[in-house]
Every structure is written in structure tokens, then in C-alpha cells.
Structure 1
Amino acid sequence: MAKTALITGVTGQDGSYLSELLLDKGYTVHGLIRRSSSFNTERIDHIYQGPEEENRSFLLHHADLADGVALVNLLRDIRPDEVYNLGAQSHVRVSFDAPLYTGDITGLGTVRLLEAVRASGIDTRVYQASSSEMFGANPPPQNERTPFHPRSPYSVAKVYSYWSTVNYREAYGMFAVNGILFNHESPRRGETFVTRKITRGVARIKAGLQTHLHLGNLDAVRDWGYAPEYVEAMWRMLQCDAPDDYVVATGEGVSVRQFLEYSFAHAGLDWREHVRYDAKYERPSEVDALIGDATKAEELLGWKPVVRSRELAGIMVDADIRQLSDQLAGAAVRVDR
């Protein structure tokens, strides 16, 4: 019998790739979306508006991680075999400007979902999207045994969610896991995140639409992987015999400056001619280096990354150049009409 999954944050980068993965495996996928006056479903429109047989297996529901009652009712209705909690206010810099909202959705939202699973009485497996930002000031390499030292409201909320997931697992025997994912990017990454901001800027500079790109700290080191590979690790965690927590990472540390070099060079440009520093993009407290050790995931899940940062930068630059070219061509057609 085909499995059923519920994904919160289904309209995000990871939610869209995970939806595709699960649909390919024969799942019926239910996605949670917040009610809004504007549409933000562009990452999943190709699924939702796709072939009729696929459309019947992909269903969207209006609900919110701020509404525990709605979560209980939804879980009772669809009775999913697996729940993937990807919903959050996930921008680290924004969390300094909106700490209460971040704490409510990213932190308490996880508890509302866990409690909804418990209260609904359904038998399901829960994946919690934890973050490498939880390690914060602790030096790399970071693995499952590294202590947490969060350095932002976002990472503080994620630590709360992490331990809440562990607590529900230990207190109620719930099959609940934490995937501690290090930075993972793709052409579907939000345009305010630094990697996508860089690759989108490269496309616009290459097309002559802008001359400069403004960024903050170029010395921060991150472990950047490819999002479609990382959602595979999420799924594998819920197929195990017993619940556990896993780091998912490439083990390669790359500075923002290096990612700039890869991205601009891929388009035949020199980043030093175009990048300008802007202090407004600095965080009040910075995390210097996050580099993951995913040995446990490799040994127990059989998961191993393939795409590394240089190739990732090329994938994203090519996608942004194509997207911009299509937009300009579309605009030209409308003008001609």
C-alpha cells in the first residue's frame, strides 16, 4: 500500500525537492501552506499543476504552525505515515530583526506539531529539520556529539526544537528524528540567502542589468551541499528501524569569498570588480565556520554527498542565467505585442 506523507514548509526549497522525491517513490504527499493574500507556490506549481495522475497524489492544505488545533485536525484527517517538519522562519539575519516571530514559529511551532501528533493518536514517523547553526561558536568539524552554542535567535529556536524532538521521542516513544543539515543550496534557494544572492547577481551583471553586488562578511566559512541530495537523507532517516539524529554535510569548508570566486569565474567575470561591502548585511553575532562530519549518516544511512561547492556554484549560475534570459525574452514579447 502506498505511503502518505505530510510536509510543512512545502513551498520552500527543501519542501519542493522532497515532494518530488516522495512522489517518485509512490507516496501521496500532503503539503501545509500558510494562508496569504499573495501566491508563493512557484517552487511547486509544476507539481500541483502537472499531470492529472500526479495532481491527485499531491494535495495542499491551509494550516499554520501557529495553530495547534488545526494541526491536530489535519493529522487526524490524513493520518500520514511520515511527517516532515520543514516549516520555519529560516533566515538567520532576519531572526535578529524578528526574534519573537522566529521563536514562535521555528521553536514553538515544532512543539505544536509534536504535540498534535501525540494528541491525534496517529502512528507516524516525524522528521525535524534541525540546523548546523545550532553549533554556532563551537569549532569545526561538527558532528552529532558536538555541543550546541547558538549565536542567533534562529539557532536558539532550532536548539529548542531539537531537544523537544528528543524529549518527545524519549517521553512518549515517538519515532522522531533530527536531521542536522548543514547549508544546502540549489537554484530554488530563496533570493535573500547569500549563495542565491550571489548567483542571481552574477546573472544580472553578465546581462548588463547591474554593475555591483553588495554583501556583508566574506570570511564566513560554510559547508555547502546540494539540496536535492539532502532531502534523500531526510527520507532515509525515517526508513530506519530505530529513530536517531544525524548530521548531513559534505565535510568541505568554503568561505563566502571562495563561493564568489567560483560563481563569477563560471560566468567569465572577476568578482573583485563587482562586489562591494555593506555593513547592513553583518549579523550582530557571527558564526565563523561550520563544517560537518557526516560519518554517521554515511555508515548508518548509506548516504554520501556527490555535488560539491564549485559544481554547485556552476549549477546555480547556469540556472539563474537561463531564468533571466527567459524573463527578458518574455518581456520583449509583451512589448512587441
Structure 2
Amino acid sequence: MEEINVKTAFITGVSGQDGAYLSKLLLMKGYRVIGITRSRHEENLENLKKLGIDNEVIIQECDLLDISSIISFINTYKPDEMYNLAAQSSVGLSFKQPIGTINFNIISVLNLLEAIRIIKPDVRLYQASSSEMYGKVSNLPVTINTPMHPLSPYAISKASAHWIVVNYRESYGLFACNGVLFNHESFLRSNGFFVKKVLQETVRNKDNSEWVLRVGSIDIKRDFGFSPNYVEAMWLMLQADNADDFIICSGKSITLRSIIEYVFEKLGVSKDKLVIDSDFMRPTDIEDIYGDNSPAKRILGWQYDLDFYQVLDILIEDELTLFTQNKSC
């Protein structure tokens, strides 16, 4: 009987939104999925549980700041692919904790690459880069060659990690790719992110006469997409003939204000419930940013044509369902 070759994939940051959707995608494709977390605490499995795959992913603890732990895991599981989604990913928090953000987001990537180089150089690595790296751009749309001008400690750390990946690819011949994902949402998004905050607070309080939604700068524009579709691009990058870096985005931007107004209108909430609060303002911010996804579509065969208002319709329904379920528990 012919032996079936089952691919093994590591996913760091498996407990997050993208980690859960990527796990589901890889499981559907027949992979053995090893989920790497800092802690095996029950809360870290919540997103996997929501997708019904918590019993299918092998969860392991690993400190990505300890290269010996990474080497041990590579020796044990001999992965074919590694998806590094782990990071301190809050822009706002990075201003409060710049040293911790920069230290983890850079050293963890360096350790992964060095461990692959030493132990198993045929491993294919995907690194989660960020559109925040480009920051203050003079020309739109952003392409992979747009000069970077990061405006936060988080963005600086991601830009540094991005170039480390490029350097290991060029210097050591590793199959290492950067996926520059612009904002992408789902009902699994953690509470600290803007769209999730707007949806969650509005759904919970739409009938509360005393509630107001407090936000910072909302006339800035961002390129938003849908997480389940974006993780498909991650996988496609590691199936390509050649390692390269790609922008993954919707290709257009909308204001944060328009998102709030759309959600309010859909849920029957008055616009006077919106309050601009200086406490939520950042020291620096990007006024407008959107990317060019045509290389990903042309070279990888990635398909994406969702308008973000279509995505918001999905997210509103998901948030209403979650709220109803939580109330009945």
C-alpha cells in the first residue's frame, strides 16, 4: 500500500484570529497542525473551539525567545511549513510598551529563521508582516517596494522582522516569505481592535440610553478585508515555486467614521451616541493607506473581491449571534 505523505505545519500565535482560520484551512487540506502558544491556558483554545477544531490541533507551549526550544520542536515534529503569526500586535500598546514589543517581534523571528537554517533548511516559512510598516506614504496604493516610514514601535518591529526574513532568504537560500496583510476582520477578532470594539459595544448597548461609543481619530482611512480569505493567501505563498513577499489587501480604503455610521444605521443607533475622546488618540497616525493586491492575484492565484460593507454585514450578524448565545448561557 502506498504511504500517504502528510504535511506538518507549525503555526505560532495559533490562538489568534488568523491562527484559528489558518488551522482550519490546513486541516481541511490534510495537514497535521501543531499550534504553538506561550501558554496552554484554556483561553488560548477559545477561537479553535469556536471553529470546532480544538481537538484536531496539537497544542504545544514554546517560548519563541528561547531558540533551544524552537530547535527541539523542529527536531521532534520535522515540519514542512511554519507560519509565524505570533507578535505583540497592538499598535496602541506598543507606544506604552515599546521595548517589550520591539524585543519580542524581532528576536522571535530571528530565532525561528536561525533554527530553520541550522536544523531543517528545507522548511518553508511564512512571516506575518504588517501594512503599518509603510506608515507615512507619499504615493498610493502601497506596493511591496513602497519605501517604509513606520510611525509606531509596533511598525518599527515589523519592518525590522520583514527585512530579517528577506536577508535570510537572500543570504542563506531559505524559502521564507513575508505576507504584508492589511487590516482584516472576523468575529474571532480580539476585543482591542477597532472594528471589533465598534461591533461588540454597539451590539451590546444599542438599547442602552446612557451608553456612548468613545473613539479617537476616525477620519483616517484604512484598507479592510476578511480574515478567512486572507489566510488562504498565506498558504498560497508557501506553495509557490519561488519565495517572495506579497501585499494582501482589498485594494481600497474607507474611513473609520463610515464604518461606525454603517454599523449604527444597521443596528438602529443614533449618530449622537458617537463621542470623540482625546484619550484614544495616538501620538502619530497614518491618514490614509491602501494596497495593491494585483501581484498576489496574478502570481499566487489568490481571489478576493469583497467590499468591506459586505464584510460588515457578515460581522454584524455574527456579533448578534454571539451576543444572543452569551445571554442565553
State the TM-score, normalizing by the size of structure 2. 0.95
In structure 2, C-alpha distance between the alignment counterparts of 1:81 and 1:290, rounded to whole Å: 34
- Cα deviation digits, residues 171-216 of structure 1 (max 9, x gap): 1100000101111011111111000000111201224386211100
* Secondary structure class of the residue paired with 1:328: helix
In structure 1, C-alpha distance between the alignment counterparts of 2:304 and 2:292, rounded to whole Å: 12
In structure 2, C-alpha distance between the alignment counterparts of 1:130 and 1:311, rounded to whole Å: 25
2:221/2:254 contact within 8 Å kept = yes
1:47/1:58 contact within 8 Å kept = no
- Cα deviation digits, residues 134-191 of structure 1 (max 9, x gap): 1100132101121111000000000001000000001110000010111101111111
Percent identity over paired residues: 39
Matching residue's letter, 1:12: G
2:40/2:60 contact within 8 Å kept = no
1:294 aligns with 2:298: no
Would the alpha carbon gap of residues 49 and 248 (structure 1) be closer, same or farther in structure 2, given more than 3 Å must change?
A: closer
In structure 2, C-alpha distance between the alignment counterparts of 1:247 and 1:114, rounded to whole Å: 21
Matching residue's letter, 1:150: P
In structure 1, C-alpha distance between the alignment counterparts of 2:196 and 2:80, rounded to whole Å: 34
In structure 1, C-alpha distance between the alignment counterparts of 2:30 and 2:101, rounded to whole Å: 34
RMSD between superposed Cα atoms in Å:
1.6
State the shift of 1:246 in Å.
0.4
Counterpart of 1:34 in structure 2 is 38
Would the alpha carbon gap of residues 210 and 10 (structure 1) be closer, same or farther in structure 2, given more than 3 Å must change?
A: farther
Counterpart of 2:12 in structure 1 is 8
Q: Which runs of 5+ in 1 are unaligned?
A: 331-337
Q: How does 1:76-155 map to 2 (within 5 A)?
A: 76-139=75-138, 140-155=140-155
Counterpart of 1:229 in structure 2 is 229
In structure 2, C-alpha distance between the alignment counterparts of 1:243 and 1:62, rounded to whole Å: 28
Q: How does 1:163-242 map to 2 (within 5 A)?
A: 163-208=163-208, 211-242=211-242
* Secondary structure class of the residue paired with 2:82: strand
* Secondary structure class of the residue paired with 1:42: helix
Stretch of structure 1 that moved more, 165-174 or 314-323: 314-323
* Secondary structure class of the residue paired with 2:43: coil
In structure 2, C-alpha distance between the alignment counterparts of 1:76 and 1:119, rounded to whole Å: 11
2:134/2:146 contact within 8 Å kept = yes
* Secondary structure class of the residue paired with 1:129: strand
Would the alpha carbon gap of residues 210 and 251 (structure 1) be closer, same or farther in structure 2, given more than 3 Å must change?
A: farther
In structure 2, C-alpha distance between the alignment counterparts of 1:209 and 1:100, rounded to whole Å: 42
Matching residue's letter, 2:217: N
* Secondary structure class of the residue paired with 2:44: coil
* Secondary structure class of the residue paired with 1:138: coil
2:74/2:120 contact within 8 Å kept = no
Q: Which runs of 5+ in 2 are unaligned?
A: none
State the TM-score, normalizing by the size of structure 1. 0.92
2:40/2:59 contact within 8 Å kept = no
Stretch of structure 1 that moved more, 116-125 or 232-241: 116-125
Would the alpha carbon gap of residues 119 and 209 (structure 1) be closer, same or farther in structure 2, given more than 3 Å must change?
A: farther
